[in-house]
Amino acid sequence: MNRHFRKEIKGFNCNINNGLRLLVFKRTPLEEFYISFDQPILLILFYATATFFGSLYLSLPKPEFNAYGLVNISTHIFFLLLTIYIISKFTKRENRKLSLFVVLLSVWPWFYLAWAVLGKSANFDYWEFYGDRKYLYLLYNIWILSILVRAISCVIRLKIKYIVFAVSTFLIFVSIPLHYLAMADFWYEAYEPNDEYTNSSKINLENTYYRQFSFIKDLEEKILPERNNVSDLYFVGFGGDATQDVFMKEVQYARKLFDERFNTKGRSIELINNIETMEILPLATKSNLNLIIQHIGKLINPNEDVLFLYLTSHGSKQQKLSVNFMPLRLNAIEPHNLKESLDSSGIKYRVLIISACYSGVFIEPLKDDYTIILTSSASNKVSFGCSHESEFTYLGQAIFAEQLKDNYNFIDAFKKGIESIKTREMTESREPSEPQLYIGEKIGSKLESISHEMKEFIKLKEPSLKIDAKDIPVPG
């Protein structure tokens, strides 16, 4: 018994080493593998161990055990066995089933470990999960197929038609099923107890919806009208997505900054989706935003005053700005929605900043001679900084915490902010988000006038009203 066990362990070590050799395309003939009925069991146990510790590594720092990982392993082995059976039937090498199974299982665990370490993602994830790293997904699967063909060729002399058949069989009976049917790992990262799903149970839907009428009415009564012969600046901050606190944080900071440096006190509004503010502030919804914009349009002098609108949220390739506050069902904002609202309000001079992935899609529909538009990314790029831990998105950090706390010239601040973002992304080796800046031909002189007025305003303020240095986060 001990002799047999030692022999099988030695054979297992030999097979694992040969699987690693195949992984780097080294020639490994079948004679160098140890074939026995015990080897598939040992190799399956090794694969289960690899997935156990691999998913544990991926779920750090807060791993939570998932017993359905056993189902995942069983599904993988079933489809692998089915594929080997079909290939052996087609190639008329039914006597090589065991050899095929041992050779393929010798290399299979290394696929998982390689992707767990290099890809930092669960094995056989959906294409969509890789975001802007889809090239890794493609390279990984091409690599797998090429190794599998090489592994099969160790057992069966493959003709061209057999190679095509083997690759097709793996795609149909392994790649596709495992990408869509077996997603459970032994470990996954636990959610915070105060995440959006837990918080959603605290929301009274009916009260929250009907409270919006009184919120908007109170705001409309409190917003100050414009002053004759003064270029008044009206600030509206919109934190659209409740899934991360960063949108709330930077809207609150931006309003404070504008009230104290740009004389918007009494003319600044916050619309925020967050459980911390839902009982004191109106929600960031498409309807509320439109109502506020329409009301400001009635108060201002369109030839003197300027609207500064800051929208911060998640974005999508479908040209929509996320408006999300579970379990409320809220409508996303599309570029044409914002254009219709602004055009119908009669507001002429507009400064629009949009911090969201793919936010560049808003420029073309909204641009005109009296508008300046700054977006955190191009229409086909993602932007960065969206998390509970962040005080700002990258755009919010660059514009509000770095530039506008010292600079009254909006255009200059926006240009320098873009350079700051580019430098930060390069330093962090991130794919460039490519922030976009559009400047209408006739808004520049108006912003210069406001900048001059703000400088005079700040000189008249008492030192005690200035922003305290502790309120300004350190960049990065």
Element (H, E) at 187: strand 187-189
Based on the fold, state whether residues 166 and 273 are members of the same structural domain: no
- Beta-carbon contacts of 297 under 8 Å, excluding residues fewer than 6 positions away, are 344, 345, 346, 347
Residue 339 and residue 365 in contact, taking contact as beta carbons nearer than 8 Å? yes
Based on the fold, state whether residues 261 and 181 are members of the same structural domain: no
Based on the fold, state whether residues 228 and 341 are members of the same structural domain: yes
Look at residue 184 in the predicted model and tell me its pLDDT.
66
Based on the fold, state whether residues 231 and 175 are members of the same structural domain: no
Residue 403 lies in a domain: yes
Based on the fold, state whether residues 252 and 312 are members of the same structural domain: yes
Residue 56 lies in a domain: yes
Residue 194 lies in a domain: no
Based on the fold, state whether residues 222 and 104 are members of the same structural domain: no
Residue 254 and residue 400 in contact, taking contact as beta carbons nearer than 8 Å? yes
Based on the fold, state whether residues 266 and 346 are members of the same structural domain: yes
Indicate whether this model's pTM tops 0.95.
Answer: no
| Backbone φ, ψ for residue 123 (5° rounding) | -65, 145
Look at residue 468 in the predicted model and tell me its pLDDT.
46
Strand partners, 64: 188
Return d(Cα 438, Cα 222) in angstroms, integer: 32
Based on the fold, state whether residues 163 and 248 are members of the same structural domain: no
Q: 41-63 in b/e burial notation, b at 16+ Cβ within 10 A?
A: ebbbebbbebbbebbbebbeeeb
Return d(Cα 151, Cα 153) in angstroms, integer: 5
Domain edge (last residue) among 157, 189, 221: 189
CATH of the domain at 404: 3.40.50.1460
Look at residue 54 in the predicted model and tell me its pLDDT.
81
Based on the fold, state whether residues 49 and 147 are members of the same structural domain: yes
Q: What is the pLDDT along the chain (476 residues), one digit of tens a residue?
A: 588 888 999 999 999 999 999 988 888 888 999 999 999 999 999 998 988 888 888 788 778 888 888 888 888 888 888 888 888 888 777 678 889 889 989 998 888 787 776 655 555 555 555 555 667 777 877 888 888 888 888 888 767 887 788 888 888 888 777 766 655 678 877 655 445 545 666 677 778 888 899 999 999 999 999 998 888 999 999 999 998 899 999 999 999 999 988 989 999 999 999 988 998 999 999 999 999 999 999 999 999 999 999 999 999 888 899 999 888 889 999 999 999 999 999 999 999 999 999 999 999 999 999 999 999 999 999 999 887 778 899 999 999 999 998 888 999 999 999 999 999 999 998 889 999 999 999 998 888 888 777 776 666 664 444 444 344 443 33
Going 341 to 196 to 435 to 420, the CA torsion angle's sign is positive
Residue 71 lies in a domain: yes
Return d(Cα 377, Cα 89) in angstroms, integer: 53
**Which range marks the domain in which residue 421 is found?**
211-471
Based on the fold, state whether residues 261 and 130 are members of the same structural domain: no
Residue 205 lies in a domain: no
103, with CB counted inside 10 A (0-12, 13-18, 19+), is buried
The tally of domains found in the chain comes to: 2
Look at residue 203 in the predicted model and tell me its pLDDT.
77
Going 152 to 155 to 160 to 164, the CA torsion angle's sign is negative
- For 311, the 3-state DSSP assignment is strand
Residue 201 lies in a domain: no
Residue 252 lies in a domain: yes
Q: Return the DSSP state at 406.
A: T
Based on the fold, state whether residues 453 and 338 are members of the same structural domain: yes
246: nearest Cα among 382, 388, 357:
388
Question: Rounded to whole angstroms, what are the CA distances from 222 to 68, 150, 225?
Answer: 56, 74, 9
Based on the fold, state whether residues 255 and 368 are members of the same structural domain: yes
